[in-house]
Amino acid sequence: MDGGSLADVIQVQKCIPESVLSVIVRKLLHGLSYLHGVRHLVHRDIKPANLLMDLKGEPKITDFGISAGLENSMAMCATFIGTVTYMSPERIRNESYSYPADIWSLGLALFECGTGEFPYIAYDGPVNLMLQILDDPSPSPSKEKFSSEFCSFIDACLQKDPEARPTAEQMLTIHYYLLFDGADEEEWQQAKSLYKEGSVFSFSGKQYSGMNDIFSVLSDVRRKLAGKWPPEKLIHVVEKLQCRAHGKSGVAIRVSGSLIAGNQFIICGDGMQVEGLPNFRDLNVDIPSKRMATFKEQFVIEPGDAIGCYYISNQELYIISQ
């Protein structure tokens, strides 16, 4: 690959900004999801040196020389092979392992790329390194220096118990929706980044332009509908969804459904099912009793400045309070 590996990038740049790393992670997760779910392969050597980039910013997973094939999703490997530095605890203990071992390795690789530092002391030899991985608490990025999304994502990857780690497919859902997963005002503030100064938002017969004005209106709607919480926040129950191409590279989306109070951000209503998103039946939610309003929304997303990033250029929101 003409852009080198992520190891080459951090050797020159020291670390990779979260906004760039976010795009890379999403595409790597698609690759791992295919590797695990379709090919039934455990890579066994995920590390920055094996994550390559081209000059367009497209990442690729490479070096499948020691990957292991599994007959099905429940099968396990039982061999000790790969780079010790990024090896998961279950592999170091020489236990049977499966796809979660790659998730651990990905978490360590992303930690190193995001912070510019490998979280363990690696120069005292492989035995000491393995003892650290087994005995020390899992590393976590500084919550003062990094966003809660990045920290939570790494924490999910670096669970000591392999069964507690999400799959690559589940991590894709976390990656997309973690921004809204909480009542924390700091997390809500980051919703502003979905808009640009040229964005237009229409609500209640008025138009608002620019990220600051749009965010102010959305915050006011949020407060009026549900007040200030925790423990509960506003849930979008998506009951109808339509998408179509818009212009050369945009996407127009039309959504309708209900707004209820709860502890998710977005769930599927009756007749809707999206892989990775919970359904109201799975959560045992009684929508009529919790419905605070119904909504209709249409918006257009356009490519942003960074590769793979989109922003909302035009949005119309209609809310009918109960």
**Per-residue pLDDT tens digits for 86-142:** 999 999 998 888 899 999 999 999 999 999 999 998 777 888 888 999 999 999 999
Q: 152 Cβ partners below 8 Å, 6+ apart?
A: 174, 178, 181
For each of the domains in the chain, give its residue range(s) and CATH number, in order of start.
6-177 (1.10.510.10), 184-321 (3.10.450.50)
155 flagged as catalytic: no
Between these two residues, 232 and 181, which has the higher pLDDT value? 232
Structure letter (DSSP) for residue 80: -
Global pTM reads 0.56
Residues 122-127: contacts with CB under 8 Å, at least 24 apart: 122/85, 126/84
| Phi, psi values for residue 264, rounded to 5° | -120, -175
Chain-centre distance for alpha carbon 249? 23
Q: What is the mean pLDDT of the chain?
A: 79
In tens, the pLDDT along 234-245 reads 677 888 888 899
> Which entry of 45, 124, 135, 213 is annotated as an active-site residue?
45
